[in-house]
């Protein structure tokens, strides 16, 4: 079976994790602090906090910025639901914005239209652009738009560690940049995530919220606000620190693999993702013709020993959001997100899969589509 993704965990990672396990120092500690320092240096930001997941990073960022009931946040309609879930979990309202059909990202023009159109009772407070599958957004334009409308920017860079935008790395433009280290990501700690931040006051509040609202005082531990337990463990951080050494090489391999997919599939009826400079290619998702049954294709690929998957979700058609925001569903009907959700197909992509596997997947896919 050619899997959709496979985390690369070698002897060095195993040795680093074993070292921490044998030390007995398992909870958040020195390894996490070292990982934070190394991530901050890689991203070129003054502060990074590691947390238990990418979803935790989004949730903490919104909480720390005081976004909650009575607020609205612009989010892409095509994304993993964690983006909008985090908005709802702080009591705010997600406002869905359609995406570009070839990059799968929101655009500055699309965000501007959503801002101009918004007439809900909630106050627009923030925008959460997602660098979908590692594809960079024009963050300079997004930041300019947000500044003109007084909106906070929280970047969902869950898939985009190492993605390069004009002017910097993804996740370093907004007030907070949120990353995921799930096993399908380019760098993994099993589960885990991180928040890149520039404002020292925001860092302090995030750190409190991450760890029960607890800080050390003169008489011992003090609990100064209602916080959560979103800490990363030391052994996860040890794994991530070893993976960091290989990240740029893995991204380069992903770039080469997507180029081979592109060479094999170009000229067919299958729509390919846009080629954007700086893309980190966490996922390679194609779009099948409307007349092709994606379920049949996925089933036939599985029979051929190839795993595939739906790319991401159109939020407006998910049962939870459809029930809560039926007007949004009607407005977005016929948009790009719905088509991407129905016909998008994520193909296997991981650094050590090799060009032969890409050829096998491509040939099998072309046979399925032409059947």
Of 129, 50, 121, 58, nearest to 88 by C-alpha is 58
Q: Distance between CA 260 and CA 356 in Å, rounded?
A: 10
Of 282, 186, 237, 176, nearest to 39 by C-alpha is 237
Q: Are 55 and 74 in contact (CB under 8 A)?
A: no
pLDDT at position 112:
98
- The pairing of beta strand 152-156 with beta strand 123-127: parallel
Of 79, 278, 257, nearest to 161 by C-alpha is 278
What are the DSSP calls for 158-178, one per residue? TT-TT-EETTEETTSSSSEEE
Q: How far is the first Cα of the chain from the last one, in angstroms, to the nearest whole number? A: 22
- All structural domains of the chain: 11-244 (3.40.640.10), 247-370 (3.90.1150.10)
Q: Which residue's structure tokens are 């995921």? A: 180
Q: Distance between CA 285 and CA 11 in Å, rounded?
A: 31
Q: Distance between CA 53 and CA 180 in Å, rounded?
A: 6
pLDDT at position 217:
83
Q: Are 209 and 64 in contact (CB under 8 A)?
A: yes
pLDDT at position 115:
98
From first to last of the 371 residues of the chain, give the pLDDT tens digit: 999 999 999 999 999 999 999 999 999 999 999 999 999 999 999 999 999 999 999 999 999 999 999 999 999 999 999 999 999 999 999 999 999 999 999 999 999 999 999 999 999 999 999 999 999 999 999 999 999 999 999 999 999 999 999 999 999 999 999 999 999 999 999 999 999 999 999 999 999 999 999 998 888 889 989 999 999 999 999 999 999 999 999 999 999 999 999 999 999 999 999 999 999 999 999 999 999 999 999 999 999 999 999 999 999 999 999 999 999 899 999 999 999 999 999 999 999 999 899 999 999 999 999 97
pLDDT at position 236:
98
Structure tokens given for 270: 């299958």
What are the DSSP calls for 198-232, one per residue? --HHHHHHHHHHHBTTEEEETTEEEE-S---B-PP
Structure tokens given for 50: 């590691």
| Sheet strands (E) in 17-70 | 47-51
The answer to whether the pTM exceeds 0.95 is yes
């Amino acid at each position: 079976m050619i899997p959709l993704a496979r985390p690369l965990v070698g002897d060095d990672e195993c040795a680093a994790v074993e070292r921490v396990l044998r030390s007995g120092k398992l909870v958040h500690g020195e390894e996490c602090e070292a990982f934070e320092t190394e991530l901050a240096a890689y991203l070129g930001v003054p502060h990074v906090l590691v947390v238990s997941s990418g979803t935790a990073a989004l949730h903490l960022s919104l909480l720390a910025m005081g976004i909650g009931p009575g607020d609205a946040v612009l989010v892409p309609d095509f994304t993993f639901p964690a983006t909008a879930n985090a908005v709802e979990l702080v009591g705010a309202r997600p406002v869905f914005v359609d995406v570009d059909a070839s990059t799968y990202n929101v655009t500055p023009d699309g965000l501007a239209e959503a801002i101009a159109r918004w007439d809900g009772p909630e106050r627009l407070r923030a925008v959460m652009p997602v660098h979908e599958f590692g594809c960079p957004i024009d963050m300079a334009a997004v930041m300019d738009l947000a500044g003109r409308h007084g909106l906070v920017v929280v970047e969902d860079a869950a898939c985009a560690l190492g993605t390069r935008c004009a002017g910097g790395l993804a996740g370093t433009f907004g007030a907070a940049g949120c990353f995921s280290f799930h096993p399908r990501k380019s760098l993994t700690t099993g589960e885990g995530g991180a928040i890149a931040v520039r404002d020292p006051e925001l860092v302090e509040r995030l750190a409190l919220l991450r760890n029960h609202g607890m800080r050390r005082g003169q008489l011992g531990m003090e609990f100064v606000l209602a916080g959560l337990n979103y800490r990363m463990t030391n052994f996860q951080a040890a794994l991530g620190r070893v993976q960091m050494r290989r990240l740029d090489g893995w991204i380069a391999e992903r770039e080469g693999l997507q180029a081979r997919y592109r060479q094999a599939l170009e000229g067919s009826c299958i729509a390919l993702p846009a080629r954007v400079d700086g893309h980190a290619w966490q996922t390679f998702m194609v779009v099948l013709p409307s007349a092709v049954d994606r379920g049949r294709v996925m089933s036939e690929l599985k029979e051929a020993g190839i795993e595939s998957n739906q790319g991401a979700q159109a939020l407006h058609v998910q049962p939870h959001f459809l029930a809560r925001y039926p007007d949004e569903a009607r407005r977005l009907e016929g948009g790009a997100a719905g088509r991407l959700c129905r016909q998008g197909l994520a193909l296997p992509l991981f650094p050590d899969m090799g060009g032969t596997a890409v050829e096998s997947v491509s040939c099998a896919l072309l046979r399925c589509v032409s059947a």
